[in-house]
Amino acid sequence: MSSPERSVTPAVSEGGWLKFLMSARERLPAAERRVADLVLERPHELLQLSLAAVASQARVSEPTVIRCCRSLGCHGFADFKLRMAQSLASGQLFMHSDVSPGDSVAEMAAKVFGKAARTLLQVRSQLDPARLETAIALLCAARRVECYGLGSSGIVAADAQHKLFRLGLPSVAYSDAHVHGMAATMLRPGDVVLAFSASGRTVDLISSVDLARESGADVIGITALGAPLAARCSVALELLIDEDTDIYTPMTTRLAQLTVVDTLAVGVALRQGPELLTRLQRAKESLRSKRVRGFE
C-alpha cells in the first residue's frame, strides 16, 4: 500500500482539487489514471458510488483505487470523495463554457470576463502567505532585481520591472533568452531574480534560473504548480490555472501573474513606509509637465 510520500504533488485547497486532478492525471500510473478519468467524466455520479463500484467501473482493483486516492494526496477513499464533493460544491470543475463561433459579442465578452474574474479569485486562495512573505522580504533586501520571462511572460517581466523601479529598487527586465542567460552569470549574493513562466517548462528560462542560483542569487518563481521551474527557485509562487498554454497564448494565466506582481509590489511598498510616499510624489510631479493642461 502506498505511503503519503507517494503523492503526485502536495495537497491543494478544496476549491481547486478537481482542477488539480486534471493536471495530475498524466503523472499517474496507467491503472490509477483510469480511476482519475472516471472521476473527471462523471464526478457527480461518483459521489454516490462505493469503493467496489468505482473499482468495477474503472476496471481496476479496489487497492488500485485506494492507491490513486493516496497518490492524489488523500488519506483514503472517503477523503477522496469529500474533496470531490467540496470542489463540486464550489463550482470549480467547469470554469466556463468555451467561446464558440456562434456566440454573440456580448456572450463572448461575458465568457472572457467571467473566466478572468474566476481565475483571480482562485489564485487568491492558492497563494501561500508564508511564501509571499518570504518573496517580499527577498525583494526588500535585494541589491538588484532582474526580471526574466519569454513570450507573454516577458511582458509580465517588463511590468514587474516598471513597478519595482518606481519603488526605488534597482531593477531591469530581460525577455531575450540569450541576454538573461548572460545577465544571470553576472549576478551575486544579494541579487534577486523574478522568473515568470506560464508552463514552467521553458528550457531557456530554466537554464537562466540555474545560472542565477549558481551565481548566488535568490530566485522568486511565478509559475505553474509542480512545474520544473518551481523546484529550482528559492521561493515559488505556484499557480494552478485551467488554461491550455500549449495551444493558446496565455490569457488568464497572464492576468494572474500580473496580479501576483501587484501583490508583491504593494507588499514591498508597505515595508518601505512613509519615505516612499515622498519619492512617489516627486515622481508624479516630474510627469506633470507631460500632461495636457486643464484636465487635472
Which of the two residues, 194 and 74, has the higher pLDDT score?
Answer: 194
pLDDT at site 16? 60
pTM, entire model = 0.65
Q: Comparing 100-104, 135-139, 188-192, which segment has the lowest mean pLDDT? A: 100-104
pLDDT at position 94 over 60: no
pLDDT for 93: 40
Cα–Cα nearest to 232, from 204, 207, 199: 207
Residues in the chain: 296
User: How far is the C-alpha of 51 from the C-alpha of 79, rounded, in Å?
Assistant: 12
Question: What pLDDT is recorded for position 186?
Answer: 97
User: For the sheet containing 171-174, what is the strand order?
Assistant: 171-174, 144-148, 191-196, 218-224, 235-239
Q: How confident is the model at residue 180 (pLDDT cuts 50, 70, 90)?
A: very high
The structural domains of the chain, ordered by start, are 4-89 (1.10.10.10), 126-285 (3.40.50.10490)
Residue for grid cell 474574474: 117
CA distances from 275 to 56, 166, 209, 272, 287 (A): 66, 13, 33, 7, 20
